[in-house]
Structure 1
Amino acid sequence: MDDSHLRFPPKNQNFEIILGSSSKARREILAEMGYEFTIMADAIMKKLKSCDQVEEMSRSTLLITADTVVVYQGAIREKPSSEEEARKFIRDYSGGSGKVVGSVVVTNLVTGSRKGGWESAEVYFLEIPDEVIDSLIEEGITLNVAGGLMLEHPLILPLVDTVVGTADCVMGLSKTLTEKLIQEALVES
């Protein structure tokens, strides 16, 4: 499903956003939505809270965190733990499908309000040739992504038959869900 018709807020936002993820795809999606944000890890957020710096924030500050897993034949797949596991994951998807489940939590650091939700999408693949699998394994990127596969990877994208749901959900941050949760977290500020 193409979501390029969706409209997101203008860039003059009156609140801060901290993205609690180092995912390149999540950074790109949030930027596409028109938001300005900084990136900070959970460990830093704990330190901020222990130093009472959160209480000193003068305007709403939202922390956005997200996680993604792949469900294949009823089993949850996170990041592969080895090259062998990554190879098995990708071979399993060849000519088949995997369901991506992405969760998003938006926390208003000033009010403590926390809003969360999840969305899923099903990805159907054409046959994935062994040489493509070998190249992906050699790159090493398969060990850093849920289910061992990046939809937007130039070797994989041509082998995607159909996506039932949104590509941004598959890539790790559903735009519509994130926007809804941002608005809900701001209402309680």
Structure 2
Amino acid sequence: MRKIILASASPRRKELLKQLIGDNFVVYPSSYEEPPLQGLSPEELLLKHSIEKARDVSKHFDSGIVISADTSVLYNGEILGKPDSPENAEKMLAKLSGKKFRVVTGLTVLDLDSGKEVSESESTNVWLVELSKERISAYIRTGEPLDKAGAFAAQGKGAVLVERTEGDFFNAVGLPLFRLGKILERFGVSVFDEGFS
């Protein structure tokens, strides 16, 4: 069975990949710094970050398949990353309150044995309910928004803030499982292989 390497420290991505292939992978976070790059669309930027993360981690392994992803919330053409303070989390949630926005992931799968690399982006539409200042404050007090892109977690307590989604829900959490499964199949890896049960 091929070695699968997840180039991410995200516990959410780890749980999602585990859902797909069990415990049959190793986690090796990338040290890539994600610099701001001029002249790229948000989708291109997220793809670029996922590619560089995969290539960075690939230097530490001789064989196997590296999976990396970079996810952000996009609203009115603006990337909303992880808030660096409760105040910024409050601003983000106020901005998204009652609005439709997109969660976009740049996904890269790199086969170290063949040198083949596939990078694609996935987009999910999300509608957040109208949020009062009190509800935003209560949610921020849970601590959940502070390390999440767009300051909310669709799979956590933030689930009660999400009115509906359109597209791959798992993408809104941080790893588009449908697209990842299709890419892995192109690499000759099926999630239904006995080794992944």
State if a TM-score over 0.5 links the two structures.
yes
Is the counterpart of residue 69 in structure 1 residue 79 in structure 2?
no
Distance 1:122 1:175 in 2: 16
Aligned to 1:3: none
2:57, 2:66 within 8 Å by CA — same for their partners in 1? no
Number of positions where the alignment pairs a residue of Structure 1 with one of Structure 2: 166
Aligned to 1:163: 165
1:63, 1:107 within 8 Å by CA — same for their partners in 2? yes
Q: Which residue of the other structure, out of 143, 163, 166, is the alignment partner of 2:146? A: 143
Secondary structure at 1:33 match in 2: helix
Is the counterpart of residue 100 in structure 1 residue 88 in structure 2?
no
What does 1:106-117 correspond to in 2, within 5 Å? 106-117=109-120
Secondary structure at 1:81 match in 2: coil
CA deviation vs aligned residue, 1:108-157 (integer Å, no higher than 9, x gap): 12222111101101111112233332233233332311111111122x21
Aligned to 1:40: 28
CA deviation vs aligned residue, 1:154-180 (integer Å, no higher than 9, x gap): 2x2122211011210100111111112
Aligned to 1:25: 12
- List 4+ stretches of structure 1 deviating above 6 A: none
TM-score (norm 2): 0.75
Aligned to 1:6: none
2:125, 2:165 within 8 Å by CA — same for their partners in 1? yes
**Larger C-alpha radius of gyration, 1 or 2?**
1
Task: Give the CA RMSD over aligned residues.
Answer: 2.3
Distance 1:70 1:48 in 2: 27
Secondary structure at 1:117 match in 2: strand
2:124, 2:172 within 8 Å by CA — same for their partners in 1? yes
2:58, 2:66 within 8 Å by CA — same for their partners in 1? no
2:80, 2:149 within 8 Å by CA — same for their partners in 1? yes
Is the counterpart of residue 179 in structure 1 residue 181 in structure 2?
yes
Is the counterpart of residue 16 in structure 1 residue 3 in structure 2?
yes
TM-score (norm 1): 0.78
Aligned to 2:87: 84
Report the CA distance between 1:47 and its aligned residue: 7.9
Distance 2:21 2:56 in 1: 27
Gaps of 5+ in 1: 1-13
Gaps of 5+ in 2: 33-54, 190-197
1:20, 1:65 within 8 Å by CA — same for their partners in 2? yes
Report the CA distance between 1:48 and its aligned residue: 7.2
Report the CA distance between 1:184 and its aligned residue: 2.3
Change (3 A) 1:110 1:140: same
Change (3 A) 1:94 1:23: same
Aligned to 2:194: none
Distance 1:47 1:21 in 2: 9
Report the CA distance between 1:46 and its aligned residue: 5.0
Corresponding letter in the other structure for 1:33: L
1:151, 1:171 within 8 Å by CA — same for their partners in 2? yes
Secondary structure at 1:42 match in 2: coil
| Of 104-113 and 130-139, the range deviating more from structure 2 | 130-139
Identity %: 30
